[in-house]
Structure 1
């Protein structure tokens, strides 16, 4: 079984969704510290800016699973989305999903909705449900998550080539594979889903190369 373990991003670039489609199970890596300069709470826009979720101020060591929205999040979010003149009615309705169940649930819901639009049916699982040992960090924590779901191969984005050791994965009985870098032109999937036929986006994803096993 192929598995990917990734933090839940807000409408990231298309290769992230190709990763989801390339595995049998996609594990949302929500049991780690929230990276404040990452892509969990902000989606890239075609003008180089960001659409940023209105999060509450919280301690630096807050886990992704424990993130909370600001008290005035619905108002702030509506204003930020309204400032995007190209946002389609369908995507505006999707983005307006209730915030009451928390940030991780919101992010998972957006990922699932985008996957539906892209014809991707891969199941999701949150790493916070796996009771991983608290002392594991980095590569060791990723491997523990993969083993916990009985994966045989771990698949990652191309940037992971500098982070993960094939020998270490083999020692844990796991194969290691990577996607090729994204060569397309779409930097904002939110913009693409709002302005392009979804069939065209599905066709682009289907044409991307499959994961390549690391030597």
Structure 2
């Protein structure tokens, strides 16, 4: 069984969803420190233009699962969506679901992020089980590679697959020492670096084909 572990991103580019397509279980890494300059709370709508969630400023050691909305988050998010001309309603089923999600009630931030990921996965026909790392019985004192190994072993996995950008973070020999295999996807070579637009325009078939066509594992 192949396990993937990745922080939850806000409507990430198509390359992110290759991890779901390539794995048997996908883990949302939500009990780690929130990376303020990452993609957890923002997505690139067009080149160099970002939609950012209005989250409350919190301490540097805040975990992703503990992120909170800003007091005026709904109003602020509405304005940011409007600036990108995201409609409140749409006719195509997937576009309608995206609009409902983006303009719907704001519960927990982590729930909002997971719902978006599940929505896209369902739209492109990826049905890999999704779990949160915070719900697993693992040693919370572990960090880095040791924690990933513990997650994979807790799920009975035999292989850990990661995005190509994570190659410098892991040592294959340490995985092999505990009977696990370390794998990486090839760099993303597709065309969907901005995912909300194809979801809104009904180009879901091309998006699904792109994800699966570029879902190759390095030898």
Measure how far apart 1:86 and its partner are.
5.6
Aligned counterparts, 1:22-171, within 5 A: 22-85=22-85, 89=90, 90=96, 91-100=98-107, 102-171=108-177
In the superposition, the TM-score normalised over structure 2's length comes to 0.91
- In structure 1, how many angstroms separate the alpha carbons of the residues matched to 2:105 and 2:156? 34
Whether the 8 Å contact between 1:98 and 1:106 is mirrored in structure 2 is: no
Query: Which residue of 198, 201, 210 corresponds with 1:195?
Result: 201
TM-score normalised according to structure 1 size:
0.93
- How far apart, CA to CA, are the structure 2 residues paired with 1:196 and 1:204? 14
- Preserved CA contact (<8 Å) 1:153 1:176: yes
Q: Are the counterparts in 1 of residues 31 and 133 from structure 2 also a CA contact under 8 Å? A: yes
Structure 1: give runs of 5+ residues left out of the alignment: none
1:112 Cα offset (Å): 0.3
What is the alpha-carbon root mean square deviation over aligned residues?
1.5
1:126 deviation in Å? 0.5
Query: Which deviates the most, 129-138 or 109-118?
Result: 129-138
Given that 2:190 and 2:214 are in contact with CA atoms closer than 8 Å, whether structure 1 keeps it comes out as no
Contact map agreement 1:2 1:153 (CA 8 A) in 2:
yes
Aligned residues between the structures: 212
5+ residue gaps, structure 2, are 91-95
